[in-house]
């Protein structure tokens, strides 16, 4: 028996050894639908046409991983069009790669952690995928073609050997694309470019950044680029101010003439940084726009004059700048728009002359009642978001637009009022089982999708839905806290009121209303559909049938309610 076991064990080991030899001996195969690879002990050569397959991370790749790790050179012959995702990831010994003119795309993580010393991308390459050359520590030279259109997120992250790069025009540079390139000192853009946020984050030795064309970035792409600040602690490229060194002890800063734009978060400290010492900022008459959160968190800022040339101030641009509004009653205004309020009054009367409540103007405020003056035509995006104490608001008859998430998380907001009944539309809400009326100005003609989402509103405030394309879009008020809806339009789309668990009454006035099967999915079975009296009985039956089919209540008319 022992001899038999010994024989079986020997046979098993022999088969395992032969399998190992066979696997080790694999030096060629397919790496794409019409592409083959071959390895001579030093160089991987790829021939054929079309793409190289993406390499599976958790399965045996098309080119064995041990071969990729030991190969010193890569030659891809013309005909190959795409280098797939992770195709040569972890190719630690790969010092040289030849890429032909037929390649148009470098896949995500295609050469991540490879040992490349340089990479020359030929004309024809349009896309470099995310993390494509991440952590290529030995990469000291990268040449980019004029055909290049986009560089993905983290594409050259932590390529610490790179010292300078020249990028072609009209290229989009992804988030953190060149971040943590510690040796990078010079970047030149040949023409127009768009930088996503933190594109050059923590390139601490970057001293030169030039752009021949237009450089566009909505958010500061130069966080941590300490060597790029000028003598005033500013990073200004062209006509745009991208960043201020918040660690400086100065209390005053003058933004020079010629600056037309301040990007998002330019003066805003990160979570790990203290509030800047700045108490005064002087802005130039050339300034046109200020980005989102541009000065957010400047808690010591007391003095700033907004020039009349400004046409745009972004969302919460002065959030948490409470000292800035001490001498203005808590209001920051510019060009007849209210951009911020930091007062402590529970009842807030917005000054006369204001025509717009800007995006985020009252966000996270502690006010309980807000009175808007006649002349206000727009309430901006998230204007009152997170005002968890707000319970009522007086709206002007001039109001026309309420933008997205205007009252998000205003859980206590339960009533609207208007100055007179003239020109107003009738609405209803239910409280403690009783149906009430209230009014909203008929001037309101535009409600951005989700404008009332996640508010505490107890009623739908659209006066006549034919004012906004005669329909309610899919998921527009899903999850809202409203109690009652009066609908005079033609269409309620899929899940428009899904999960409105407080909704109790739907008053349908249109004679041709079309309601999606799941428009009220997740609503209470106590939901009551009230059909306005009409002469055609089939119209009444249509709404009644809808209510019956979906397990809701039905009633014709509502004259019994006050």
Rounded to whole angstroms, how far apart are CA atoms 246 and 226?
11
In this predicted structure, the answer to whether residue 168 has a pLDDT above a threshold of 80 is: yes
Average pLDDT, the chain: 81
pLDDT at 101: 96
In this predicted structure, the answer to whether residue 312 has a pLDDT above a threshold of 90 is: no
In this predicted structure, the answer to whether residue 106 has a pLDDT above a threshold of 90 is: yes
Bridging pattern class, strands 331-334 and 303-304? unpaired
- The pTM (predicted TM-score) of the whole model is 0.64
Give the highest mean pLDDT range of 27-36, 57-66, 298-307: 27-36
pLDDT at 120: 96
Tell me how far CA of residue 557 lies from CA of 310, 449, 526, in angstroms: 53, 30, 17
Q: How many residues are present in the chain? A: 562
For residues 516 and 422, the model is more confident at 516
Query: Token pair of 527, please?
Result: 């939901």
Sign of the four-CA dihedral 341, 346, 352, 357:
positive
pLDDT at 402: 76
Give the model's confidence band at 459: pLDDT under 50 very low, under 70 low, under 90 confident, else very high: very low
Say which CATH superfamily domain 229-328 falls into: Ribonuclease Inhibitor (3.80.10.10)
pLDDT at 123: 96
Average pLDDT over residues 518-524: 91
pLDDT at 423: 47
Residues 73-90: tens digit of each pLDDT:
999 999 999 999 999 999
Rounded to whole angstroms, how far apart are CA atoms 140 and 152?
19
Residues whose CB is less than 8 angstroms from the CB of residue 3 and which lie 6 or more positions away in sequence, other chains included: none
Rounded to whole angstroms, how far apart are CA atoms 507 and 530?
5
In this predicted structure, the answer to whether residue 13 has a pLDDT above a threshold of 70 is: no
In this predicted structure, the answer to whether residue 425 has a pLDDT above a threshold of 60 is: no
Q: Which residues pair with 549 in a beta bridge?
A: none
* 252-290 as b/e: b if 16+ CB within 10 A: ebebeeebebbbbbbbbbeeeeeebbbbebebeeebebb
Tell me how far CA of residue 172 lies from CA of 186, 188, 217, 221, 448, in angstroms: 18, 14, 10, 12, 30
Q: Which residues pair with 439 in a beta bridge?
A: 426
In this predicted structure, the answer to whether residue 439 has a pLDDT above a threshold of 70 is: no
Query: Token pair of 236, please?
Result: 């200004």
C-beta atoms surrounding 533 within 10 Å: 9
Bridging pattern class, strands 73-76 and 96-98? parallel
Bin 397: left if φ > 0, else alpha if -120 < ψ < 50, else beta.
alpha
In this predicted structure, the answer to whether residue 51 has a pLDDT above a threshold of 90 is: yes
Query: Token pair of 389, please?
Result: 């104490």
Residue identified by tokens 């991987």 is 44
Picking from 471, 526, 519, the residue whose alpha carbon sits closest to that of residue 499 is: 519
With 0-12 CB in 10 A as exposed, 13-18 as middle and 19+ as buried, what is 226? middle
Q: Which residues pair with 142 in a beta bridge?
A: 119
Residues 485-500: tens digit of each pLDDT:
777 778 889 998 898 8
């Amino acid at each position: 028996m022992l001899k038999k076991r010994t024989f079986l064990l020997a046979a098993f080991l022999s088969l395992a050894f032969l399998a190992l030899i066979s696997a080790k001996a694999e030096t060629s195969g397919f790496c794409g639908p019409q592409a083959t690879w071959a390895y001579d002990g030093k160089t991987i050569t790829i021939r054929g046409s079309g793409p190289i397959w993406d390499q599976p991370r958790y399965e045996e790749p098309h080119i064995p991983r041990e071969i990729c790790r030991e190969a010193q050179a890569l030659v891809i012959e013309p005909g190959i069009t795409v280098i797939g995702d992770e195709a040569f990831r972890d190719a630690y010994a790969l010092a040289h790669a030849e890429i032909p003119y037929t390649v148009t795309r470098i896949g995500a993580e295609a050469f991540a952690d490879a040992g490349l010393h340089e990479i020359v991308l030929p004309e024809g390459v349009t896309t470099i995928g995310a993390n494509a050359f991440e952590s290529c520590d030995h990469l000291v030279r990268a040449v980019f073609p004029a055909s290049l259109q986009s560089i993905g997120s983290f594409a050259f992250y932590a390529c610490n050997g790179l010292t300078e790069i020249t990028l072609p025009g009209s290229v989009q540079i992804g988030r953190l694309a060149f971040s943590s390139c510690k040796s990078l000192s010079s970047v030149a853009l040949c023409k127009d470019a768009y930088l996503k946020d933190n594109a050059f984050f923590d390139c601490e030795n970057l001293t030169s950044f030039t752009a021949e064309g237009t450089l566009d970035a909505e958010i500061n792409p130069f966080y941590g680029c300490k060597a790029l600040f000028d003598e005033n602690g500013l990073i200004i490229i062209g006509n745009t101010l991208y960043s201020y060194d918040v660690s400086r002890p100065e209390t005053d800063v003058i933004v020079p003439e010629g600056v037309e734009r301040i990007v998002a978060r330019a003066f805003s400290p990160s979570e790990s940084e203290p509030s800047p010492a700045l108490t005064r900022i002087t802005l130039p008459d050339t300034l046109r726009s200020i980005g989102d959160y541009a000065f957010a968190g400047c808690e010591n800022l007391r003095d700033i004059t907004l020039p009349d040339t400004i046409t745009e101030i972004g969302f919460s641009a002065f959030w948490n700048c409470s000292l800035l509004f001490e001498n203005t009653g808590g209001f920051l205004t510019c060009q007849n728009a209210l951009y911020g309020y930091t007062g402590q009054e529970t009842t807030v009367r917005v000054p006369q002359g204001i025509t717009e409540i800007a995006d985020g103007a009252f966000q996270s405020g502690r006010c309980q009642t807000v009175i808007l003056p006649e002349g206000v035509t727009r309430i901006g995006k998230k204007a009152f978001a997170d005002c968890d104490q707000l319970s009522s608001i007086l709206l002007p008859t001039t109001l026309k637009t309420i933008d997205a998430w205007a009252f998000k998380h205003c859980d206590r907001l339960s009533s609207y009022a208007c100055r007179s009944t003239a020109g107003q539309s009738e609405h209803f809400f239910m409280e403690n089982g009783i149906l009430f009326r209230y009014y909203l100005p008929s001037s309101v003609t535009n409600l951005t999708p989700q404008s009332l989402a996640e508010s505490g509103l107890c009623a739908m405030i659209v006066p006549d839905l034919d004012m906004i394309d005669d329909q309610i879009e899919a998921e527009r008020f899903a999850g809202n806290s409203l109690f009652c809806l009066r609908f005079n339009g033609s269409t309620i789309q899929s899940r428009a009121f899904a999960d409105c668990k407080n909704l109790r009454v739907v008053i349908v006035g249109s004679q041709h209303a079309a309601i999606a099967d799941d428009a009220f999915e997740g609503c209470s079975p106590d939901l009551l559909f009230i059909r306005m009296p009409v002469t055609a009985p089939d119209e009444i039956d249509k709404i009644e049938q809808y209510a019956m089919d979906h397990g809701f209540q039905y009633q014709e008319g509502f004259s019994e309610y006050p």
